[in-house]
């Protein structure tokens, strides 16, 4: 009996220590961010915008525990996840921003270490397979063969995995994100699925960033050279994440930010600590994203 009580005490102390460590880690991750450096605001020009359209396409949706969406403490019970893309139709070609996950995702992660596999299962709801991107496009009235390029905001599986089903389409990436994919190509972590990384690497076309300020961003890549679709660097969630401005008209503008913000409360409420992000230290670029998206 004494032995049992002693064991119970040890267990209790261990549990207390674990809770204390978790509390301290959460507090550290929730620390206030340094203020963002000042940036000039460069007003974009909207002269001579061509007629373009944007169509939101959902490849998949799911729910996950709310805590998985935030760096610090959360008030979210459930995190509503969407794997979706934005199809831009431009006179010079059609570009799909984000392509959902691969339909062979479960096979591609079959040999993952237990914890990484579990992390994926939580984030994907344990689904056996994602919808095939070409099928979703066709059901939205879009012929996948008409795509000029895909532009993943970053290489996480739910944004870039669909390249596995969209064969031969060029993949536009920032140089930093291509390096990130190469770095994690053989590590079997949640950062990039090795098979996705290898496929992306063979089809990657680097975005042509110029030292041309746009809004509050120091560099920009004007995709069609007419100011209608402008890509900016948005590191934080991953080192080479990008955001894309889509200017349908001077009054109708979209800023696609990928996972720079992944809960709708994050742009409005700072209590989520590191800006409501899953990974990502350093909130400076996300603050830029926030101010640009609200301007
Ligand atoms: Zn992500």
Q: Which residues surround ligand 1, an ion (CB under 5 A)?
A: 156, 259
8 A C-beta contact, residue 152 and residue 241: no
- Cα-to-centroid distance, 259 and ligand 1 (Å): 5
The whole-angstrom separation of Cα 121 and Cα 41 is 42
Domain boundaries, the chain: 31-294
The whole-angstrom separation of Cα 184 and Cα 59 is 25
- Cα-to-centroid distance, 156 and ligand 1 (Å): 5
- Cα-to-centroid distance, 39 and ligand 1 (Å): 26
- Cα-to-centroid distance, 241 and ligand 1 (Å): 9
- Cα-to-centroid distance, 92 and ligand 1 (Å): 29
Question: CB-based contacts of 11: which residues, under 8 Å, 6+ apart?
Answer: none
- Cα-to-centroid distance, 2 and ligand 1 (Å): 51
- Cα-to-centroid distance, 141 and ligand 1 (Å): 27
- Cα-to-centroid distance, 154 and ligand 1 (Å): 7
- Cα-to-centroid distance, 44 and ligand 1 (Å): 28
| Largest separation between any pair of C-alpha atoms in the chain | 84
- Cα-to-centroid distance, 98 and ligand 1 (Å): 11
- Cα-to-centroid distance, 51 and ligand 1 (Å): 31
8 A C-beta contact, residue 132 and residue 111: no
- Cα-to-centroid distance, 53 and ligand 1 (Å): 25
* pTM for this model (two decimals): 0.80
Closest CA to 82 of 240, 233, 259, 253: 259
Helical segments of the chain, H only: 2-29, 105-108, 114-124, 133-139, 157-160, 175-183, 194-203, 284-294
- Cα-to-centroid distance, 100 and ligand 1 (Å): 11
- Cα-to-centroid distance, 14 and ligand 1 (Å): 34
List per-block mean pLDDT (blocks of 10 residues) for the chain, which spans 295 residues.
Answer: 82 85 70 73 91 92 74 70 91 95 90 86 62 88 94 94 94 97 90 95 98 93 97 92 96 92 60 38 43 40
Burial 165-182 (b: 16+ CB within 10 A, else e): bbeebebbbbebbbebbe
> Per DSSP, which regions of the chain are E strands?
53-65, 78-90, 93-97, 147-151, 171-173, 204-206, 221-222, 229-233, 242-247, 253-256
8 A C-beta contact, residue 155 and residue 172: no
Predicted pLDDT of residue 130: 63
- Cα-to-centroid distance, 132 and ligand 1 (Å): 19
- Cα-to-centroid distance, 7 and ligand 1 (Å): 42
CATH of domain 31-294: 3.60.15.10
- Cα-to-centroid distance, 286 and ligand 1 (Å): 13
- Cα-to-centroid distance, 234 and ligand 1 (Å): 12
Predicted pLDDT of residue 267: 54
- Cα-to-centroid distance, 176 and ligand 1 (Å): 15
Joined tokens for residue 53: 């359209």
Joined tokens for residue 2: 């004494």
Tokens 């059901």 -> residue: 139
Predicted pLDDT of residue 232: 96
Joined tokens for residue 216: 């509050």
- Cα-to-centroid distance, 254 and ligand 1 (Å): 19
**HSE (CB half, 13 Å, CA atoms) of 19?**
6
Predicted pLDDT of residue 51: 96
The whole-angstrom separation of Cα 192 and Cα 154 is 9
The whole-angstrom separation of Cα 58 and Cα 137 is 9
- Cα-to-centroid distance, 255 and ligand 1 (Å): 17
């Amino acid at each position: 009996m004494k032995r049992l009580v002693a064991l119970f005490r040890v267990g209790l102390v261990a549990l207390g220590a674990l809770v204390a460590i978790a509390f301290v880690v959460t507090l550290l991750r929730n620390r206030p961010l340094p203020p963002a450096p000042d940036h000039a605001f460069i007003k974009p020009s909207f002269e001579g915008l061509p007629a373009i359209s944007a169509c939101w396409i959902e490849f998949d949706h799911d729910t996950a525990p709310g805590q998985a969406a935030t760096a610090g403490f959360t008030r979210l019970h459930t995190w509503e996840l969407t794997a979706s893309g934005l199809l831009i139709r431009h006179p010079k070609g059609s570009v799909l921003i984000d392509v959902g996950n691969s339909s062979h995702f479960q096979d591609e992660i079959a040999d993952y270490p237990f914890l990484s596999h579990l992390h994926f299962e939580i984030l994907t709801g344990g689904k056996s397979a994602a919808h095939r991107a070409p099928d979703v496009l066709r059901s939205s009235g879009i012929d996948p063969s008409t795509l000029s390029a895909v532009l993943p905001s970053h290489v996480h599986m739910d944004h870039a995995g669909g390249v596995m089903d969209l064969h031969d389409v060029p993949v536009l990436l920032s140089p930093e994100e291509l390096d990130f994919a190469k770095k994690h190509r053989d590590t079997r972590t949640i950062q990039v699925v090795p098979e996705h990384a290898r496929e992306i690497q063979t089809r990657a076309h680097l975005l042509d960033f110029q030292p041309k300020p746009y809004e509050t961003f120091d560099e920009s890549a004007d995709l069609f050279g007419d100011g209608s679709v402008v890509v900016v660097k948005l590191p934080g969630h991953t080192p080479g994440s990008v955001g894309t401005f889509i200017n349908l008209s001077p009054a109708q503008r979209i800023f696609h930010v990928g996972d720079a913000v992944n809960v709708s409360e994050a742009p409005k409420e700072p209590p989520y600590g590191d800006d409501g992000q899953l990974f990502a230290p350093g909130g400076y670029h996300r603050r830029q994203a926030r101010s640009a998206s609200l301007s």
